[in-house]
Structure 1
Amino acid sequence: MFKKILNLSLLSLVANMGLAQQIPVDSIFSNEGLILAEVKEIAPDVIKFTYPSETVLNSIYKNAVQKISFKSGRVQFFKESLALGEIRNVFDFERVTLTHVASETKGLYKLDEVFSKAVGTTTISNITTVKERAFKKLKIQAALLGGNVIYMLDQNTVGNQFGGEYQSGKATETILTGIVYSNSIPKVEDITATLNNKKTFTVNANYYAGRNSTDVEGNPYLPETFTIEDFYQENGFVYARGKAKGIKNTLFKVISFKNNQMTFYWKDKKKAYNLSVDL
């Protein structure tokens, strides 16, 4: 009798385990990883969901979600996230998106503020050309930081002012300010797990741009290797202590960790830099 009861109990346990495995859930593919849940509502800014066997309503900004694979089999992609370009280093600056809508930054990581100014060379300078130069400067700064979105705070363009008998002329100028955001930032646990205590890396690129630079410049004296002492996370961002020949700086911010490459950022009083290494 005891054996029969035991067998029935085991059969019941196996049946319940099988039923639990068959409970359908939705799959939310976010920038932080996969979330298995039941989607309750897709609102204008957020996606509301509950975790399996829970009733508490959670939410995640649509900017942080790439797609949802519903239990029905239907897949929904989210243009808010997919429209944001991947920034691996400063040369991806053309992928930086500009927005004047604050709500479009919800769910993104705030990196830093940026500023740029472009001035025409003469009072007959093309206003559009000068304005484009200012925006290019701004995007370069954003890409150096690893950002792919700039929320524009202020944009001021003054046209050419021709001089007179008692007043000198003034060339057109554009001044821009904004806040840089990214939809994805490196995680220290991913870095340390992948590198597995590796300390020395081959440098493949070292670029910089000055505050008023209209383009990116490369360092002709590229250090061959970059040695990292350790990584740590602060306020959600990953930093590395390390050294490379010819570089005075010893503290670097990790802005990208993907595609077999890691890119670092730092700045001094005049310039901002990116250094990339092979993994």
Structure 2
Amino acid sequence: MKKLILSLLAATLMTVSFAQTADKMLKHSGETLDVKILKVGEETITYKYPGEDAEQTIGKFAVAKITYGSSNRVENITEKIVIGDKDDWENVQILTSAAQVVGLRKGEEVKGKTSGFISYNSAGSADKKATKRIKQDAADLGAPFILMLSDKADNFGIKQSMKKGVVYYYK
């Protein structure tokens, strides 16, 4: 009986101790997680839930800020990108790594393409037009992010650019 009481007391103290030093991660979705931050990397954040040993990973674009429990220091991670309509296309972010979209909600595929054989585009202007078109399509869907899947330019001397990606939203 004493061992059971001591075990319960130890577990309670560990939980209270973790709760006092738990870090708070605020996601752009509005959700706040009480976790222990292990690492803030270039593209991702690694953390653990209380009482668990399994490490979790989330992309930095899904996280607004972290408040460290031990010091109450606040670290701003990313600003929320708000897309109201197609006119906000310049705010859409093109991402190139699958790690960057962890914690975001996957949407549909989008494409951006410039004209084919008869074109007065230079290779640079064709790429800019294709980028604008794919971003406009994403903005029209209200999506702040595109994970680029394919980016082809200047096919066999033809000044054409084709881009394909998948849109992502805040959860």
TM-score (norm 1): 0.47
What residue in structure 2 maps to residue 50 of structure 1?
49
Pairing 1:180–2:167 present: yes
User: How has the CA–CA distance of structure 1 residues 49 and 128 changed in structure 2, closer, same or farther, with 3 Å as cutoff?
Assistant: same
Pairing 1:26–2:13 present: no
- Deviation readout 1:218-248 (Å, 9 max, x if unpaired): xxxxxxxxxxxxxxxxxxxxxxxxxxxxxxx
What residue in structure 2 maps to residue 73 of structure 1?
72
What residue in structure 2 maps to residue 35 of structure 1?
33
What residue in structure 2 maps to residue 113 of structure 1?
109
Instruction: Tell me if structure 2 keeps the 8 A contact 1:49–1:59.
Output: yes
Gaps of 5+ in 2: 1-15
User: How has the CA–CA distance of structure 1 residues 85 and 31 changed in structure 2, closer, same or farther, with 3 Å as cutoff?
Assistant: closer
Instruction: Tell me if structure 2 keeps the 8 A contact 1:115–1:175.
Output: yes
- Deviation readout 1:71-128 (Å, 9 max, x if unpaired): 21211222xx43x622122221111111222222222211111112211684553222
- Deviation readout 1:160-200 (Å, 9 max, x if unpaired): 85xxxxxxxxx522111111112x14xxxxxxxxxxxxxxx
Measure the CA separation in 2 of the matches of 1:23 and 1:102: 34
User: How has the CA–CA distance of structure 1 residues 76 and 43 changed in structure 2, closer, same or farther, with 3 Å as cutoff?
Assistant: closer
What is the number of equivalent residue pairs in this alignment? 151
TM-score (norm 2): 0.72
User: How has the CA–CA distance of structure 1 residues 131 and 70 changed in structure 2, closer, same or farther, with 3 Å as cutoff?
Assistant: same
Gaps of 5+ in 1: 1-19, 162-170, 186-279
What residue in structure 2 maps to residue 230 of structure 1?
none
Instruction: Give the percent of matched residue pairs that are identical in Structure 1 and Structure 2.
Output: 22
- Rg: which structure is higher? 1
Letter matched to residue 125 of structure 2: T
Measure the CA separation in 2 of the matches of 1:28 and 1:98: 24
- Bigger proportion of residues as helix: 2
Instruction: Tell me if structure 2 keeps the 8 A contact 1:127–1:159.
Output: no
User: How has the CA–CA distance of structure 1 residues 124 and 25 changed in structure 2, closer, same or farther, with 3 Å as cutoff?
Assistant: closer
User: How has the CA–CA distance of structure 1 residues 123 and 62 changed in structure 2, closer, same or farther, with 3 Å as cutoff?
Assistant: closer
Measure the CA separation in 2 of the matches of 1:55 and 1:157: 47
What RMSD, in angstroms, separates the aligned Cα atoms of the two structures?
3.0
Measure the CA separation in 2 of the matches of 1:104 and 1:55: 24
The 4+ residue runs of structure 1 with deviation greater than 6 A are none
1:130 is paired with a residue whose SS is: helix
2:127 is paired with a residue whose SS is: helix
User: How has the CA–CA distance of structure 1 residues 144 and 75 changed in structure 2, closer, same or farther, with 3 Å as cutoff?
Assistant: same
TM-aligned CA deviation for residue 134 of structure 1: 1.2
Letter matched to residue 58 of structure 2: Y
